Structures are given as structure tokens and as C-alpha cells.
Amino acid sequence: MAFVNLSLLLGGICTAIPIVLHLVMRQKPKHLPFPALQFLQHRRETNRRTLQLRHWLLLALRCLAVAVIVFALARPSVDSTAVAGWLMSAGLLVTLGLVGGCLIFTLMQRKGRLLIGILAALSGLLLIALAVNTIGSLRTGPRVLLGDQQAPVAAALVIDSSPAMMYRYQNQTRLDVARETATWLIGQFSLESDVAVVEARPEPALFSVDLSAARKAVSRLQPEGGREPLPRAIRKALRLLATNDKARKEVYVFTDLTRSSWQDDQSGALRAALDDAREVTVYVVDVGVEAPRNVALSGLQLSAETLAGDNDLIVEAEVAAVGAGGQSRVELFVEEPDPDKPIIVDGETILPRAVRRDRHEIELAQDASKKIRFRVRGLPVGVHQGSVRLTQDDNLAIDNQRYFTVNVVESWPVLVVAPSGVNESLLTEAIAPFEYRETNRARFQCTVISQGDLENHILQNYAVVALVDPSPLTPTQWERMARFVEHGGGLGIFLGHNAAATTSFNSEVPRRLVGGKLARIWRSPERDLFLAPTRYDHPVLAPFRDQATSVPWDASPVFLHWVLDELGSNTTRVAALSNGKPAIVETVHGTGRVLTWTTPVSDPLRPAGRTCWNELPTSEVNWPYFVLINETIRYLAGTNDQRLNYLVGETVQIPNQTGAYPDRYDLFPPHDEPLDVTAHQDLLTVRATDRAGAYRLKGFLGGPVARGFAVNLAPRESDLRRLSRVQLDELLGKDRYQLARNKDEIVLEVGQARVGREFYPYLMVLLVIVVGLEHLFANRFYRQPT
Amino acid sequence: MAAVEKYLKPEVINQIKRLDLRAQFVVKGFLQGLHASPFHGFSVEFSEHRRYSHGDDPKDIDWLVYAKTDKYYIKKFEAETNITGYLAMDLSQSMGYTHRQELTKFDYAICLAAALCYLMVHQQDPVGLITFDDRLRDCLAPKSKRSQLGNVLSHLANLKPTGQTEIAKCLTQIAAMLRHRSLVMLFSDLLGDPAEIMRSLRQLRHGGHDVILFHILDEAEVSFPFDGLVEFEDPETHQRVEVDATSFRQDYLQEITDFRQEFQRNCRQSGIDYVPLDTSMQFDKALLEYLLSRRARG
């Protein structure tokens, strides 16, 4: 509890005035002769006690009236969170007074003992409850400095600048409202106040030089996708306020209360930080709309970011409606390749022409979502920028368009090396089926040679070299393989019956490539051995993740496999067999990688003169094999490395091999001036991905080179569902913050938090009651004879 | 007639200082107010004739005498039986109390006693006077002569209520003192021990005496018109009691009512006529009570 005019409490001495008056100016009784005194004697004692009671009651009321006046003038106030406790104490006090009064009356009237006992017990209980509640309220104590509302403050304005804040309502975006309210609020602070505008950015927060600088910082706020969650920004604000020595510290969070803005994996940390900074008052200013209506493109998925051959691009877009439904039109645009564009003409950026390639009309129910598939055919080799758009405008325009970038390349050349007598067709048909080869849709272009012809081929012309059931290679061949891998090539070694645990495989170089020592052949003729991956985090196994428990691995038994011992330090297990032995291991060598299978991938069902090693390619349910071998070759070819579609705020890294690509590019970000970016260590890094859109890289290496990538908002940014009060309580702590929706509520909440909840009105009501009672009793007790 | 009846009001009587006139006015006012003779129906016999004077009832004119003498004479009657009456006056100091400073209980009692004396003497009933406070003070032997009225009135006029109260003891003494069957008219505020007073009254009644008990209280003692904090003092004992009169009124009225009702019940059981009076009441009530009692004994 705090007092605005603490010194006025000295006026409490005035409560002695009624007592003094009572003693000094005690009413003198009229003296009258009266013979019939005997009729007064009987009830005299009762009357005397009644008189005393009245005297005490009146004295108490008068003292109470003076005390209430003094208390009210001192303007007591408590922290608004503790009001309930104090009101409870007041209620208990009044009840105790009533029950106590009844007890005294009962005692004086010498009523039944049972009644006296009950009243005494009730009074005792009330007294205990009052003491406990009051102590509890006192312990709660004012968290913050209460008192003068105009005292300088240290304030941190945390303003939510998420894309959802661009929701337009009553011709104002939420960010506009937040900016306006924040600017108004800054004007309310005294000039000595320290104000910081905290943005949800990784940069540390700082106090503005003065209030006008704070206003400018507010006006500069722009919506950002790749920002920190609000809880983190609030923690940052709390850390900043901890460095300030002002007595009053306040955090204002301007937010639309959308869940996406408040999602944080460390929400407990915010509660802890708020508990630590109890002297800081937190105000949440809700600038959101209670029932938002929006249709959004909430997600976009590409069949592949790098397309090989003449494959179709499948674009899957998800359209979601929040608070609205109806018919929507979704269109897909792809830019026509033009190496000369973008180009700046008269200060204006001329972009390649976007051509609409597909269109869908959909009917959406309220609060429902729907997925749409677009198929784009005939994309020529090169980087293509495209977008999916909702044609209708709505309140939130920022999520009506999503961007994608796809790189179309020629088929990856794969050199399949097989000793004589080994049928490699099971492999080549799996990764480049005949039908695909004929229609130029095969992702891999296989060149099959015998192991003996290895010297006649330049390995660097191939993306992948696959050693199918290799027989012992010469040290020179191993050396060539090692150099190939070291320079970024992908090597697949599929061990089979031709391998031998001899020096050809177990010498230093082959061991380094294979990943371990070939120890022995494991035999399991009972069809009880099969591939049994336990983890699916490796890219090779990624397609199985969604159905990990239902993949029929046991339908393709393994009868024989090589046991690899002494795995190298740079070798990791990719998949194991059901006996726990490695089935696939990956070895990183230089900039390339080697995947070694300990059992072959091309063994026929009934090989002549020997036992079949496995039924992976030949079993009736062999689709896991097809997926696995394709992913193995894709992984070795490095097609997964080149990520072209990013989320806002992510750092973009694009491989940029020296010689194959230019070192310097002009980066054309969406709606902004071009930037100059330079590749380092064969890697092009771009961090300025604050806005969603198509980012175009334009370089020159013997001719114009056009590359690029796309940046999109995270799908959750379109989620306009709001936090409930309960969820907000969980995040910030119940009664740990004040929620305001407009300026008036801010004034009210801030006033209550700064000055506390004043008891002045309640005390005035109490004073009226006390004075009224005093008047009533005094008139009744001392009625003058008419 | 109305001019005479006003003398039944204590406040009017209070303005008349002479006691004999007071008695005369009270009785005349009382008799004028009655439509029938209060003596009608009494067992009386002719005693003498007297000349008719203005104001006499024409029906009392003896027409035979008129026929003989050609003059109006009216017949005078004499009670067949004589009742010896005693006016017993309480001289205790409490009887001198008046709240409105007009007519004290004692004044009221004297006025009433004088009126009764007047009535009785005019009926040739012997009437005597006994005064007492804590003991018997004076005793005038009962006589029926007209001069007795003057004696009694002059004695009453000189009485002062100054003594302590011992009603019960005095009543016992009166009971012992009276030898013939008499009508004792007691004028008192009965502020004493009610049980003892009743015992003494019963003794008196047991002696064959008729008793009319005029219980006279001050108007303030009946209505308790006080408010606020008041310290009351008993004029006899000087004992003081401080009470909040406003809140005490109900209690007091209950007490006084109980007190009177207790006396009334006990008196009825003992064959005593109990007449509760206060100084604001007209005298006719008391006189009527006497006459009813007189008739019952006639």
C-alpha cells in the first residue's frame, strides 16, 4: 500500500479529538426531582449499559469518521493486482465489526451462552481470516513504485512488426495503429523519461537519445518476416530496463495478439524474466482485430527445387481461410527466362515478364483450407522464378502471393562401373528407367563401363561414379577415385561377391573411401535379415520419414553382406541391417562423399553358380529399393545441396563453384535497390532476406548469368488466430500485465498501475456511511424533548 | 351548565385559591353534569321543608304544602343510614411533586377530599380526617354537622406534604384506631412497598371498613414525558438515578402500568375500590366512584 500524501497520515492524531471532546464535553444530564424512582430502579442497570454502549458506539463512529477523513486525504492506493485482497480485508473487517457488535450486545443483554459462544467463535474465525488475508496482501506488496503519475519513467516500447500487423481494418493497418498509439504514448511521457523502441530483431535494444528520436524510431518501423518472437523481444526490453536507474520502469507491448507472433520455444524464460523484473510494469496494447477475415496462401511445396531433364514441376499450394470463405481464384505465374533482366532503365527495375501458366477456381468454407496442385511443363534449363497468387484482394495482402524458384538442369551423368559378369541393369533401370530415357525425363544419364575401362574415362565428367559389385581395384584406380571424391564427386560403392577382404580393399586409400575394413561376409540364409533403419534423419532416408513404421523392409531379405569393421572417424552409419551391422555408411572425403552399401544392389534372383546376396531389387515388394537407390544417387550427385527457396530472415547460401559461376553478382531484392554480392569459398551468402519475393542474381562470366532464389513468409505468419486471455496469462503470468485496447484504456491502466488502485472513492463512501450512522445514532440517542 | 362543569378540570380549579370554593365548584360542577339526582334511589326519609329557591328542582316542590300555604316549599330528605367517612391523606413529600408546576398530587388530593367532604356533609354523613406520613399526624373525629366542613377544609388547607412515607404502618394504625364500620377514602401515591401496603389495606378491610383507594399520581409519573439524559432524584430519599429517558420510556410505562394493574387486581380481590388518578384527570371520575360506592352501601 502506498500513499500519495503520506504526511497527512499525521492527521491521524485528530482521532483523539472526539475522545477529548467526549471526556471534556461530556453531556451533563438534566437534574429533575422524581418521586416514582422505584420504577426506574429495576431496569436501571440495563439502561446504564445501553447508555454506555451508545456512548462507545458514538465515540467509535466519530473516531472512525476522523480516521477515514485522514486516511482518504492521504490517498492510499495499492497495486491493482492486490485490490481484491485489500477489499477482501475490508469486507472481513466490516463483517467482524458487525459480529463483534452483536457479541457485545449479546454479552450486555446476557443472552444465551450458546449464542454468545457461536458469536465468539465466529469473531475469532473472522479475526484469523482478516489477519491472514491482510498479511497476505501486505506480502504481495506493491511490485512497482506507486505515486506521482508524472514522474519520469524508463519505458521500452516493444512493437510487433510481424507481417500479420499489415492487416488492414478501418483503412488502417495494425502497424499504423501501433505506430500512432506508440507516438501518442511517447508524448505522454515526461521529458526526463528514457524511452527505447525495441524491435524484434537480433540487434540489442538501446534507449533513444530523446523522445523525438523515439518517435522517429517508431515511424521507421516496417513489417518484417524474419524477426524474433515477441517473448524474446520482451526479454530483451527487460534486460535493457534492468540497466536503467529510473525508479519506474514500464514495458509496452504493441501487438495484434496473433499466435504466430508470440510463439517461442522458450516461453518459460519470459515468465522467469518477468518474475525477476518485478519492478517493471508490463502493458499489452492490443491493436488487433477481434474477428479477422483473411484468405491466405499459407504454404507452397515444390516437387523439387532442382529439376533434371524434362521433368514437370509440381507446385502444391495451400489456401486457407480465416473468418471468411467463398470463391477464390489462384493463379501460377512463371517468368520467362531472360538473362539480360532484371535491368534498371531510368531508375526503374525492369523484370522478366511473368506468364500465367495455370489457374484454379476454388470454393473455400469458412476457417477451412484446401490444397491445389499446379503442373508446369516444359521448363528449359536455367533458373526460373515463379509465383502463386490469389487474385482477390483482402484485408491482409501480404500473404496473397508466394514465390518459388526452381533450377532446371540437364540429367546428371552417372558412370556405372561393373566388372564383367555383373548385371548392372537392375541399377540403371532403377535410376533411369527406359521410358524416362526415351522421353528425356530421366534424372540420370547412365554410362556403363567395365571395371577394366575405368582408366579410359575422365571421372570429372560425371557427377556420380557407381562401383557395382566391384572386384579388387588397382591402387591407381583407388587413387583416381579418391581424387574424384576429393574434388566434390560422389562415389557409390555397392559391395558384392566380387569384393574380397584383401589388401585391395583394406589398404589405406580404399579403406578411407569404403569407410572401414572389410572383415568378413555375414551369412543369413533364413530370410531373417533385412534392412532396418532406426533413424531417418539422413537425406537418403528422408522420403521414408512420414511412413517409417510401415515400410516393408522385411519383404526384401538380405542373405549375405560384408561386415565393415574399424569404421573411420569421418564415416557415419546411414542405415543398419536387422542384425545391427551397417548396411549403408557415408564417408566424407574432401568436398565429396562416398556411400558404401555392404550388400549389392544388382544381384539377380538366381545368380549362376553362387548364392543370391539379397532380394532388394528382385523381391515382389521392392519399392523401398527403388526409392533408396534413387535417393542414394541423388544424394551423391548433390542435387539436394542447392536450396533455392527460403523463408524470410533466413541466411541464403548458394554453391558457387569457381570457374563455373561468376564471383560477383548484382542482387535484385524485391522492391529495393540492387546490391553487390560476392562469393566466398565457392559459396554465395545473402543475409538481407527481410522481404518476401523473388531475389534475382545477375552476373557475368563469358555472358550474362542469371540465378536467383525465392523468399517467402513462414506459413505460420498467415495464421491470424489470436491468443486468448488464458494463453496470454500463461505466457506472461496472470495479473502480471495490464491489457489495454485503446488510448483511454491505456490511460486507465497506466494510471492504475502508476498510482495504484486508489481507495479514495471507497473511503468517501465509507465516510458518508459513518457520518450518516453517527448522525442517525446521535439524533436517536440524544433526542431533545420537544 | 358548561360554565360550571369547567370546574371539574384541575387546571381551572387550580386558579381558585380558596379550598371551600374549590370544593363547592367541584361538587356543583359535578352535580350539574349529572342528568339525574345522584341521590335518586337512595334510601332517604323526609326531614323538613324549606323555601323554594331558584335553582331547586321543581319536582321536589311539595304541592300539598303549596295547596295549604300557597307558597313553594320543597321537601328535604335525610339519609336513612349514615356512613362515617374518613378522608385519609398521605402527607409524604412525594405527594408534593408536580412536573408542570401547576397542581401537585397533594393539591389534587386535597381538592378531591374537600369535594367529597362537601358532598358527605351535605348528606349529613359524618366525615372525619386522618393525615399521616411516616406516622399518623392528625385525626379529626367524624361529624355530620355543617361546621365540620369548615373544620375539615381549614385543616386540609393547612396541610403540607413534607414527611417520609410509611403508608403500610399508618394504615395498620388507622385500622386499629377505627372502632365503627367506616368508609375510608385513602388519598396517596402509594410510593412504597406495594405488598406491605396491600397487607395493611386488607387489614383495614378485614376490620369491616369500606375502602376507596384514590391512587393519585402526577401526570408526568404516568406519561413519563422526559427525553434525553436525565438524572432523577427522589425528593424523599434524595437517591439519584441517571437514565436515558428516551429509551427508558417504554420500560417505565410498562413498570407503572404493571404497578397499577397489580394494585387494581389485588384491590378487586379484597373488595377495595381502586381509583387510579393522575393530576390531569377531571375530578368527576373520583366523585362518581365515591357515589357509586355510596350507593352500593346505601
For B31-72, how does the pLDDT look when each residue is reduced to its tens digit (9 = 90+)?
A: 655 544 444 434 445 566 778 887 777 887 888 888 888 888
The chain A residue lying nearest B256, using CA atoms, is: A39
B-chain CB neighbours of A42 within 8 Å are: 255
- Residue A326 CA to chain centroid, in angstroms? 30
Cell of A311: 521433368
Are B180 and B155 within 8 A, CB to CB?
no
Chain B interface disruption, residue of A32, A40, A43, A779, most B CBs within 10 A:
A40
Using CB atoms within 10 A of its CB, is residue A565 exposed (0-12), middle (13-18) or buried (19+)?
middle
Q: What is the dihedral of CA A447, A452, A456, A460, to 10 degrees?
A: 60
Nearest C-alpha in A relative to B94: A35
DSSP assigned state of A534: S
Question: How far is B262 from chain A, CA to nearest CA, in Å?
Answer: 14
Q: Which residues of A touch B (CB under 8 A)?
A: 27-44, 46-48, 50-51, 54, 780-786
Q: Measure CB to CB from residue A40 to each of B97, B241, B259 and give the nearest one.
A: B241
Assign domain A464-522+557-603+628-637 to its CATH superfamily. Class I glutamine amidotransferase (GATase) domain (3.40.50.880)
Place of cell 532464389: A709
SS3 A511: helix
* More confident of the two residues B1 and B230: B230
Q: Chain B: nearest CA to A10, how far in angstroms?
A: 35
Cell of A580: 545391427
Q: Which residue has the cell 479477422?
A: A292
> Which architecture, in CATH terms, is A153-292+722-755?
3-Layer(aba) Sandwich (3.40)
Question: What pLDDT was estimated at residue A146?
Answer: 47
Can you give the pLDDT at residue B121?
Answer: 80
Alpha carbons A285 and A743: distance in angstroms, whole number:
9
Out of A350-354, A453-457, B25-29, B101-105, least confident range: B25-29
- DSSP 8-class letter at A57: H
A149: phi then psi, degrees, rounded to nearest 5? -75, -20
Task: Report the SS3 class of residue A442.
Answer: coil
pLDDT band at B17, cuts 50/70/90? low
Beta carbons of B243 and A48 less than 8 Å apart: yes
pLDDT-above-70 percentage for chain B:
79
Entry field: residues in chain A:
786
Length of chain B equals 298
Q: Which residues of chain A have pLDDT under 70?
A: 1-2, 4, 26-27, 79-82, 108-110, 139-150, 225-226, 267, 639-641, 748-757, 782-786
Q: What is the pLDDT of residue A507?
A: 86
B229:A27 CB<8 A: yes
CB-nearest partner of A44 from B217, B236, B241: B241
Identical fold between A294-409+643-718 and A464-522+557-603+628-637: no
Contact B232 A47 (CB under 8 A): no
pLDDT in tens, B155-177: 888 888 887 888 888 988 888 88
Residue B81 pLDDT > 70, yes or no? no
Question: What does residue B189 show for φ and ψ, rounded to 5 degrees?
Answer: -90, -5
The Cα–Cα gap between A99 and A128 comes to 14
User: Alpha-carbon distance A202 to A687, whole Å?
Assistant: 13
Contact between residue A518 and residue A505 where contact means Cβ atoms under 8 Å apart: yes
Domain range summary for chain A, segments of one domain joined by +: 2-25+45-146+758-781, 153-292+722-755, 294-409+643-718, 464-522+557-603+628-637
- Residues of chain A with Cβ-Cβ distance to B218 below 8 Å are 35
Query: Please, are residues A261 and A288 in contact by the beta-carbon 8 Å criterion?
Result: no
Is the domain spanning A294-409+643-718 CATH 2.60.40.10? The answer is: yes
**Numbered residues of chain B with Cβ closer than 8 Å to any chain A Cβ:** 93-94, 97, 99, 189, 191, 217-218, 220-221, 225-237, 239, 241-244, 246-248, 251-252, 255-256, 259
Taking contacts as CB-CB distances below 8 angstroms, the residues of chain A near B193 are none
Least Cα distance to A172 among A396, A477, A360 occurs for A396
What structural domains does chain B harbor?
44-79 (no CATH), 84-297 (3.40.50.410)
The span from the CA of A129 to the CA of A95, in Å, is: 11
Cα separation, A622 vs A602, whole angstroms = 13
Q: Could you give the CA distance from residue A463 to residue A478 in angstroms, rounded to a whole number?
A: 17
Determine phi and psi for A291, rounding to 5 degrees: -125, 80
Strand ranges (E), A469-570: 490-494, 517-523, 560-565
The whole-angstrom distance between A95's CA and the closest CA on chain B is 27
Q: Work out the mean pLDDT of chain A and round it to a whole number.
A: 84
Q: What is the ipTM of this complex?
A: 0.75
Could you say which of B94, B231, B243 has the minimum Cβ distance to residue A31? B231
Question: Mean per-residue pLDDT for B116-125?
Answer: 79
Which cell numbers hold the place of A99?
A: 459480529
Quote the distance between the C-alpha of residue A129 and its chain's center: 44
CA distance B276 to B268: 13
